[in-house]
Amino acid sequence: MQLAGTSNLPALNKAKSYYELLKFRLSFLVAFSCGFGYLLGNNGAIDWLHFFWLVLGGFLISGTSIVINQIIEKEYDKLMTRTQNRPLPTGRLTVSEARQFAIVTGMLGFGILIWQTNTITVLLSVVSMILYSFVYTPLKRVGPIAVFVGAIPGALPPLLGWVAATGSISHEALIIFGIQFIWQFPHFWAIAWVADEDYKRAGFKLLPSGGKQDLNTAINIMIYTLFLLPLGLLPTYFGVVGITSGVIVTICGVLFLAQTFSLMKDYSRKSALKIMFGSFIYLPIVQIAYLLDKI
């Protein structure tokens, strides 16, 4: 005899698999960055309905890019411990189902942005998806140039939000793009250091300096983290935000930078892990500080 509710389990499991495929937390962070750019660029009364549609559209397009990435890397994901339990490698979803899901989320995302934003925002979102899904993804097996390419779509969300609010790409917009662009390098390289064995099994080559966990790679991570200190002060310098956020961002930058010295000293996975988590903390704190201190 079938227990009550068991007939719904396959549908619930399928829904859970689609949720996992979308990588909700990562897509949410992208949407958060879009919203950050919108609020920072907006100089009048905030249209919260417009804000909602922008964030939703950004979330769906990010999710679409992530799904395409997983379709392309299905066979490589099977080789890595951190990815082998994803919906596609385990067969919980087929490539056909994932492809159809990507088409639906992509059409919805772009439809929302076409309806609610402007031409520049839509074009930048198209560029972002193409670079992430069809350029960065295959380049991961070519060499560390993939990190540079991947940093572009990774830094576009706040720029998209700013353009959606203002209708133009200004020097202020390029500054917030630049901050997130430079942040990508210590972030990506720390992840690549931590997941080095997994990445090697899949043939991914993301670490600089010949892909070695050595002093040269640690110095590269330190240098790009160091760049965040002057970059973080530019919004204050150009009057986008006040001095308070400048102080907060500098303190965060110094603490983030301090973590890189441990890696330069011991080349350990533990030190790289601290940088990785530090990168996760740094960006939202900086963005929230800018928003709270907006002039």
Domain with 62 in it: what CATH number?
A: 1.10.357.140
DSSP 205: -
Which pLDDT score, from 0 to 100, does residue 83 have?
A: 92
pLDDT at 6 over 60: no
Q: Which residues pair with 241 in a beta bridge?
A: 294
Asked if residues 252 and 284 have their Cβ atoms less than 8 Å apart, the reply is no
Query: Taking 90 as the threshold, does the pLDDT of residue 210 lie above it?
Result: no
d(CA 38, CA 121): 11
pLDDT score recorded for residue 9: 59
Within this chain, do residues 79 and 17 fall inside the same structural domain, yes or no?
A: yes
Give the pLDDT score at 295. Answer: 62
- Tell me: pLDDT of 166 over 80: yes
114 and 31 within one domain: yes
Residue 1 has pLDDT above 50, yes or no: no
Digit-coded pLDDT (tens) for 240-261: 999 999 999 999 999 999 999 9
Residues 214 and 290 in one domain: yes
Report, as an integer, the average pLDDT of 100-107: 97
155 within domain boundaries: no
Band the pLDDT of 277: cuts 50, 70, 90.
very high
pLDDT (mean) for 206-215: 89
Please indicate, yes or no, if residue 73 is contained in any of the structural domains: yes
* Domain carrying residue 68: 13-137
Q: Are residues 285 and 219 in the same domain?
A: yes
Q: How many domains does the chain have?
A: 2
Do residue 124 and residue 175 come from a single domain? no
Is 149 a domain residue? no
Determine the Cα angle at 39 with ends 242 and 286, to 5°: 50
Amino acid letter, 291: L
pLDDT score at 209: 79
pTM over 0.85: yes
Provide the percentage of residues in the chain whose pLDDT is more than 70.
97
Answer yes or no: do 188 and 75 share one domain. no
Over 90: is that where the pLDDT of 8 sits?
no
Q: Which two tokens stand for residue 220?
A: 């590269």
